[in-house]
Amino acid sequence: MKLALDDGELALREEARAFLAANVPDPAQIPHDFDAKVEFLRAWQARLHGAGLVGLSWPEAYGGRGASLTEQIVVNAEMARAGAPIVIGNVGLDVVGPSLVEQGTDAQKARFLDRILSGADIWCQGFSEVGAGSDLAALRTKARITDDGGFVIDGHKIWTSYAQHAQWCAVLARTDANAPAHRGISYILVDMSSAGIEIRPLVQVTGDAEFSEVYFDAVEVPAENLLGELNGGWAIAMHTLSHERGWYGVGRQAVLRVLLDGMVEEARALRRGGRPALEDEDVRATLARAHIGLEVLKHQGLRSVGQMIADGHPGLESSVDKVVLGRVEQEMAAAGLDALGAHAALGAGAPAGVDPEAWQHVYLYARAGSVYGGSAQIQKNIIAERILGLPRGAR
């Protein structure tokens, strides 16, 4: 990927900076309660959409700006730098949306895409099941086909992020029980207000209930909600997952960079052995390692994005990004707690401007970095077999 921005990219960066400088909410305004926070973030996404700063790389016909991926990344980096809240509709925008753009009928695109951009509809991804996470093709949720071509879904999904806040879910369900595992799966768009859906939020180690179990009991879905071909869902699911990982590493490193820069400032205020923690050799070494890790993540991510721009779609490199991301995020979060010293556990009594609770949250959330979007071990298998061409390991 090129390192210097062209005039159009610089102009867009200025536009984003100006909007963000005037509009980024004070972090104190963001509610702590997760449900209230989601509503706050939906309103924030609507404002960003009003300013034309959501889904920039989506085609203009579907409410985007037809911008390049580089421009999208530039804007995302500005958002991170400005301390902007996250875009809550990211499953719709970055995960399911690209598959809708590629595979959706005109009616589906007209119905769903603009509402994804504005945050009017939050989407969730109903892929994983108990016993069908890494081995996704083992999924057992069934969709019986009705006489009018519609579906009746029975099954159980788990780890479904934002399910309790979502209007729509992209569900993978088995529509042909006799076909081999990867065939006979369909990709069905399910209205989360349908009768027969039960959502049971799961509380993560962070204390947030970001994901849920979702039970489907004879949930009726009309034929028009099938995405792509009947029994052709596996290929679309792989497309969705490749976008989930696609340029996530680059976006995430921009967020982590802001956190680490904040930690360096906090280390000036913290005391260690009677002097600022930033002067302590161990703290300096830990923060330096975190800095190096983030630089590696950034450059690896940019390399993958460069390849993605050249190929026109995400490639296997995103598996490398995902492994690096999981490791770097966890190391950086640990570095943050190290620098806090006793405040990491005690919280109270930290100097002004130092927020141990925020770092505890960063540390705990980082555990998920090597699991979501495909675990680190699975990515290593992909790297070994499909990038390096090593023989398949024993399964």
Ligand X SMILES: Cc1cc2nc3c(=O)[nH]c(=O)nc-3n(C[C@H](O)[C@H](O)[C@H](O)COP(=O)(O)OP(=O)(O)OC[C@H]3O[C@@H](n4cnc5c(N)ncnc54)[C@H](O)[C@@H]3O)c2cc1C
Q: How far is the CB of 80 from ligand X (least distance, A)?
A: 19
CB 247 within 8 A of CB 74: no
All residues at 6 or more sequence positions from 79 whose CB lies less than 8 Å from its CB, including other chains: 16, 20, 53, 87
Question: Could you tell me the two tokens for 163?
Answer: 């399910």
Percentages (nearest 5) of helix, strand, coil residues in the chain = 55, 15, 30
Q: How far is the CB of 68 from ligand X (least distance, A)?
A: 28
- In angstroms, the CA 25 to CA 345 distance is 29
Q: Which amino acid is at 353?
A: G
Catalytic residue among 244, 266, 317, 329: 244
Q: How far is the CB of 349 from ligand X (least distance, A)?
A: 32
| Number of residues in the chain | 395
Is 244 a known active-site residue? yes
Q: Which is nearer to ligand X, 159 or 359 (CB)?
A: 159
Closest CA relative to residue 93, chosen from 82, 202, 75, 206: 75
Enumerate binding residues for ligand X (CB under 6 A).
Answer: 124-125, 127-128, 133-134, 159-161, 211, 368, 371-372, 374-375, 377-378, 381, 395
Helices 248-269/281-311 angle, 10° precision: 160
DSSP 61: G
Q: Which is nearer to ligand X, 24 or 137 (CB)?
A: 137
Q: How far is the CB of 304 from ligand X (least distance, A)?
A: 20
- In angstroms, the CA 43 to CA 50 distance is 11
Q: Which is nearer to ligand X, 241 or 294 (CB)?
A: 241
DSSP SS3 for 164: helix
Task: Return the residue nearest ligand X (CB atom).
Answer: 133
Q: How far is the CB of 319 from ligand X (least distance, A)?
A: 13
Question: Could you tell me the two tokens for 133?
Answer: 């996470």
Question: Could you tell me the two tokens for 108?
Answer: 């589906």
Catalytic positions, please? 244
